[in-house]
Chain A
Amino acid sequence: MSLSPRLHIAESHKAKMEIARNRLMVAIFIFAAAFTLLGLRMLDLGLVQRVAEAGNNHSEHAAVMASRSDIVDRNGVVLATNLQTSSLFARPKRITEPRVAAARITAVLPELSEADVYTKLTSSKSFVWLKRKLTPREKWQVNALGIPGLDFQNEEERIYPQGAMASHVLGYVDIDGKGLSGIERFFNSRLSDPSFADEPLVLSMDVRVQHALGDELSKTMERFSAIGGAGVVLDIETGEVLAMASMPDFDPNHAGSASRDARFNRATAGVYELGSIFKTFTLAMALDSGVVELNDSYDARQPISIAGFKIKDDHPQNRILTLPEIFIYSSNIGAAKIAMDVGGEEQRNFLQRLGMLRPATIELGEVAWPLYPERWRDINTMTISYGHGIAISPLQLAVGSAAMVNGGELITATLIKDHDADYGDRRRIISESTSEQIRAMMRATVQIGTGKNANVPGYRVGGKTGTAEKSDVGGYREDALMSSFMGAFPMDAPRYLVLISVDEPKGIAETYNFSSAGWVAAPTVRNIVARIAPILGVEPSTEEDPHFQQAALLIDASKAN
């Protein structure tokens, strides 16, 4: 019996130990599980999520991205870019002495009115803009004032480093960076797309060519006191626009202060009767349809009277003219007769195919519809044959002329340089051989015809003058001309086309008071070609393509008036 209580004690002790051990085991298990969880979580954080976070860090690294991508020219010269600027705002409730503050702010920002600033600073709003987009210097000066309650907000500003150059092509943006005209507007969604932010939009333009075009055009305008001008330089193989100018121009950095007239793009949004350059189309159409041949001739002695209207020549030769003579002396009578032989229906179809009866295709919103008669009567056929009674944009004329010169294929004008494009979208308008004949006549026009002033020794320029009287209510004004010249070079393998239109030039003593195309536009094109040909890598040569002789033989220069 003496054993039993001890045994009992031992037994109960053992049971208690068992319970304690079990409890301990439970605790150990819980802790072990918790630590395992922690360990797993650490592994998760350390190995898996860390990689993701590192990725985040990386994207944070490349964070400086403008909200609008740059625009550059074909050689990468910056035409438009975004820079960070600061805008000044005030928290009126924190301004302690609004009158003093207003006086001191207007002292460093003189373009603000003191009364205006005072009203803003005393307003009940919690936030007012004082001035948007300060220059770094202005920002420093405002900071130096040390007025509490003023603060800056970082903003981006669109900068056009080239100033007024190519302003009509680039367009401009509003204060929030939304494109309002030109490329800025046409490609607004592309330019503001974040996925393209660090990928500049590459234009087909070349700033060097653009400068030569704009410089010569504005010089001509100044010289002849013209009211406007437009110019296009086109690559006739690819359709790339190398330069496009419209005068007067404006600075897109301050587009708001430019007049409507300055912002108007005369090269695409203006339609004009561009005159005799249309004879290129008339002769190409007639030669290509087989109605006439190069050595056919027309009597240009008598003016044509039709529907109370008299068609006469500006450079009258008063004799029977061969086709090349009609072209190089720009005979309206000859062109009208040729067009009548071809027929109005055919002429309309030809111009339709050439894209003269619909707006030009270009990456701009400012493109105007051409103006042409709804009913194509004989009088229309005649006047349109020499470029009156139809109004088109200078760009349209350049693209149409390119098809006459480049072997007969219509190209699509573009402002975008595209490495991948094969420029395959071409439509044949005239045959290769007709194009060759047109080229020969264009070269002869510059050698001995109305376009002599466009000749640049070595660069084989060929072209056509176009002098149009501007129409007004109730007829044409003889004193107001539109002088244009379309030139292509080098004529033995034409690659570039230059078109210049000068609006209302006034004759000067040096040009014997003439303001026609041969005196105004042709020398401008000569200067432009002389400047851009070396840039474009055109090799000068004194050798002439023998096929010009074919046309030259049909020209009796000794009888020229």
Chain B
Amino acid sequence: MKTSHIIIAALVFALALSGLFSLKFVAEGKERQLRALQNQVQDDQRAIRVLKAEWAYLNRPANIQDLAVKYLGLRPLAPKHIYGGLPSLPWRVASGKIDAPLVDFVMTPPDEPVRLANLGKQASIGDTEVILFEAPVVRQPMDAISLLMASDIRLVGGRP
């Protein structure tokens, strides 16, 4: 009875002791790990600061300009390069038959007679037939997308 008590107490004591110490070691290990991580975070943050400064340095507009002049041959944007809404866009003609940009145009259904002086020139934009006219300025803003979708519509272009 007495001996068994002592043995149980000793066991419990040993168990508690080892448990406590292993817990202590685990906690210390975690703390070391935490400190290492914190150091790493600090190093990374420091590196990020350096990289940000370097990024700003390399992206100096003067630097970009020098590089662009040297390698790209780009020039500053002129007002005519800027898109000013669909109506301001001239039609692009890929065939090369029309060299002057078409600034104004009218759109008519195929059956409707065209009352403009026919120049007799023909061109095509994709599948769409285009006839060139010496047209008075008719500005008719339209939705280019739906225009291109409608294949049965004939485009009648005018010259500036």
Contacts and interface: CB of A to CB of B under 8 A. Distances in A.
Contacts of B78: 530
B82 interface: yes
A81 B52 contact: yes
A161 interface: yes
Contacts of B62: 163, 165, 211, 215
A523 B79 CA distance: 17
Interface in B73-98: 76-80, 82, 84
Interface string B53-70: 111110111100100000
A385 B13 CA distance: 101
Contacts of A60: 38
B49 A82 contact: yes
A151 B56 CA distance: 31
Contacts of B84: 539-541
Given A64-B46, A165-B60, A208-B61, A534 B53 contact: no
Size band of the A side of the interface? 35 or more
B31 to A, nearest CB: 9
A63 B79 contact: no
A457 B77 CA distance: 12
A159 B53 contact: yes
Interface residues of B, number: 26
Interface string A79-120: 101111000000000000000000000000000000000000
A78 interface: yes
Max chain A C-beta neighbours (<10 A), residue from B34, B42, B49, B78: B49
Nearest to B31: A57
Contacts of A67: none
B28 to A, nearest CB: 14
Nearest to A164: B62
B79 A61 contact: no
A457 B61 contact: no
A540 B79 contact: yes
Contacts of B50: 83
Max chain A C-beta neighbours (<10 A), residue from B41, B50, B65, B79: B79
Interface string B26-54: 00000000100010011001100110111
Nearest to B83: A539
Interface string A153-188: 000000101110100000000000000000000000
Interface string A198-229: 00000000011011100100000000000000
Contacts of A457: 79
Nearest to B45: A64
B100 to A, nearest CB: 18
Contact of B54 (A161, A162, A208, A530): A161
Contact of B57 (A82, A161, A533): A161
Given A61-B38, A77-B59, A161-B60, A534 B77 contact: yes
Nearest to B50: A83
A283 interface: no
B60 A81 contact: no
Nearest to B42: A64
A336 B80 CA distance: 42
A162 B56 contact: yes
Nearest to B59: A77
Contact of B56 (A57, A78, A211): A78
Contact of A84 (B46, B56, B59, B65): B46
B60 A215 contact: no
A318 B38 CA distance: 81
Contacts of B54: 161
A81 B79 contact: no
Interface in B93-116: none
Contacts of A78: 52-53, 55-56
A530 B76 contact: yes
B39 to A, nearest CB: 10
Contacts of B80: 458, 540
A81 B82 contact: no
Max chain B C-beta neighbours (<10 A), residue from A64, A79, A81, A84: A64
A66 interface: yes
B42 A161 contact: no
Contacts of A459: 79
Contact of A81 (B38, B42, B49): B49
B79 A161 contact: no
Contact of A66 (B49, B57, B79): B49
Contacts of A540: 79-80, 82, 84
Contacts of A539: 82, 84
Max chain A C-beta neighbours (<10 A), residue from B50, B53, B57, B65: B53
A210 B55 CA distance: 18
A129 to B, nearest CB: 23
A537 to B, nearest CB: 10
Contacts of B52: 78, 81
8 contacts: A64-B42, A81-B56, A83-B49, A161-B56, A165-B62, A530-B79, A531-B76, A540-B82
Given A162-B57, A541-B84, 16 more contacts: A63-B38, A64-B41, A64-B42, A64-B49, A77-B59, A78-B53, A78-B56, A81-B49, A81-B53, A81-B56, A162-B56, A212-B61, A215-B62, A458-B79, A458-B80, A530-B79
Interface of A: 57, 60-61, 63-64, 66, 77-79, 81-84, 159, 161-163, 165, 207-208, 210-212, 215, 456-459, 530-531, 533-534, 539-541
7 smallest A-B Cβ distances: which pairs?
A: A458-B79, A540-B79, A211-B61, A161-B56, A161-B57, A78-B56, A64-B45
